[in-house]
Amino acid sequence: MDDISKCPVMHGSATNNKGVSTSNKDWWPNQLNINILHQNDKRSNPMEVNFNYREEFMKLDYFALKKDLTDLMTDSKDWWPADYGHYGPFFIRLTWHAAGTYRTWDGRGGGGTGDQRFAPLNSWPDNGNLDKARRLLWPLKQKYGKNISWADLFILAGNVAIESMGGKTFGFSGGREDIWSPPEDIYWGQENQWLENKRYTGDRILETPLGAVQMGLIYVNPQGPDGKPDPLASARDIRETFSRMAMNDEETVALTAGGHTFGKAHGAASEDNVGAEPEGAPIEMMGLGWNNVHGSGKGSDAITSGIEGPWTANPTKWDNGYFDLLFKYDWELVKSPAGAFQWHPKNPDENDLAPDASDPSKKVTTIMTTADMAMREDPSYNKISKRFHENPDQFADAFARAWFKLLHRDMGPKTRYLGPEIPDEELIWQDPVPKGNSSFDITSAKQKIKDSGLSITEMVETAWASASTFRSTDMRGGANGARIRLAPQKDWQVNKPDQLSKVLGIYEGIAKEVNASVADIIVLAGTFGIEMASGKDVPFTPGRGDASIEQTDVDSFGVLEPLADGFRNFSKQDYTVSPEEMLLDKSQLMGLTAPEMTVLLGGFRSLGISNNSLGIFSKDTSKLSNVFFKRLLDMDIVWKPLGNKYIGTSRSNGNEVASASRVDLVLGSNSQLRAISEVYACNDSDEVFINDFIKAWTKVMNFDRFDLS
């Protein structure tokens, strides 16, 4: 019985044996995978059902934790000693790499979930040896338990590290909640080997939504594009990848110089000395990876990036040393002991040498990477770098602000912030929204909406257009603020600009008459439309505000534009990704479950919402009904493709009876989605359908109401 395949029981857990079973995906590789709508299931979460991390964080002895973190910075452990006797640079890198995966295109990544504990991030080449940093934090996590999430601890550790070395920080908010399994929804690239590069087309056009230049990197290759030491080419990569993280040139220079004011790179010997990453390491390593057999394997013998040396003469002190050295010397291209390209200063002065990381009696040369040289060679970066060099206070302030943005960009508006170190200043990238009036006459507003002459379809569609921009990934978008009135949203093709202009003109008049925000009237009208269509009361909570154009970072809102919205049967153009996959992606970004996605789409079709009239099976689009599901699953209809749509004909007489899109038909063709559709198509499901639609609708309308408990 040595062969596991001969064992007399079914090994459902034998995940590493190909002979035991083959997954559905192996059998049907083109199968639509809706698992992203089920991820982070409550069953994977070990916390009690009613656990509320935000409440627990407010019980935390915050300043006691900060003191413990400060003490940890200089409490060097033999099993992984601190460079220069200070872990500060190490924890800055941990924090940076936790937060730095954020990307604006889809709001995914970032430090908001503690996902660096899981694959693939825990084993990315760029995260080499950060497994040790997380283990150094374990005693504090163990001490403070549920009062501090791993996600918050990763971020706070970097802040404390900077402060412990004399740097300035802008503030900190807690409230990040841990996930408990790897996020399956994030597309990190098509490459199947670390540090491969298959993500560019044309003249180095980076694939959307990716932010890093190679598989397994956070940003750019520090040696230069594809390992070629060209500072100007590196600058191009840096500008592109940092802009995809919502950083401008000034913020990019501040972060690069500020981060490299501290610590060193590690490349004591060839990477051939380093073993497998954590996910590939043997079981006895207990989740640690990158076992290094060179010398002691740690301290001065450590191997991480392959680049070797500190950036400044005082690697554990905030100062202007980075710019002092960058502009003082001519730099020559050399190779590290590991064979990586790096730059050394020519004929450095004695006082510009740095101490050895393990032996302060020894002196070593400082270094720059090709990415650092880009801060000097690129004209825009050079101008900013020189200004920071000449004005250290500006540099310190710019770094503190950019660092705060890096750490908090995916947390959403300031109303979600928690803790005693929240900055007073409100920043435009936090998408500020003024408080609205929650006491206007709702009954009077409803009557004015009813008398406006707008159709139920127009009312519901406009509310959806406003609210469905919300992204649960970074808490951006949504109806609060009514930014659908402003550029760029008012001109998006998906929003039918002419119809939208007419509807908003009416709503602005009503809002003024009843002293309400336009944001509230948009949602109220859609909600009232559902009430009229269903005959049911639909919850509505006022209090939304109207953002101004001055409170809106127009460029950053461009990434919220839906390239496709299956709920409205809209696609801006033909894409290589199928419409049904884009429907799942949008649903997951919003935070919808598979049943919520299904019931909303079917309900919208019954109300006549479809950009191309496909999937409209109702004769009366003023009534919310389950007719879409009944017609979709009607065995009298045979569907055939015709261009970009599908035509349904009657089996009995051959007459054309319906037309639909791929998004419509997937609710009947995919086995999991069909199972849900069947629930709503049953003759006794009219009430269930309407109730579930109202619940899902209300959830969407309130996605961004962080002021509500």
Tokens read off for 537? 């009361």
Q: Which of 11, 38, 86, 97 is catalytic?
A: 97
Quote the CA–CA distance of 189 and 197 in Å, as a whole number.
9
Quote the CA–CA distance of 413 and 427 in Å, as a whole number.
9
**17-to-55, 103, 280 alpha-carbon distances in Å:** 44, 36, 16
Quote the CA–CA distance of 662 and 566 in Å, as a whole number.
9
Residue 408 is among the residues annotated as catalytic for this protein = no
> Given the DSSP bridges, would you call strands 363-364 and 645-650 parallel, antiparallel or unpaired?
unpaired
Quote the CA–CA distance of 453 and 505 in Å, as a whole number.
13
At 639, give phi and psi (nearest 5°). Answer: -105, 135
Query: Shortest CA distance to 306 belongs to which of 318, 294, 296?
Result: 294
**622-to-604, 609, 619 alpha-carbon distances in Å:** 11, 11, 9
Quote the CA–CA distance of 439 and 454 in Å, as a whole number.
24
Alpha helices in 287-438 (DSSP H): 321-328, 370-377, 379-390, 392-408
Half-sphere exposure for 597 (CA within 13 Å, toward CB) = 28
Q: Are 426 and 413 in contact (CB under 8 A)?
A: no
Tokens read off for 40? 């982070």
Give the DSSP letter string of 28-91.
-TTS---GGGT-S-GGG--S-TT--HHHHHTTS-HHHHHHHHHHHHT--BTTBPPGGG--HHHH
Quote the CA–CA distance of 697 and 139 in Å, as a whole number.
44
| Distance linking the first and last C-alpha atoms of the chain | 57
| Residues with catalytic roles | 97
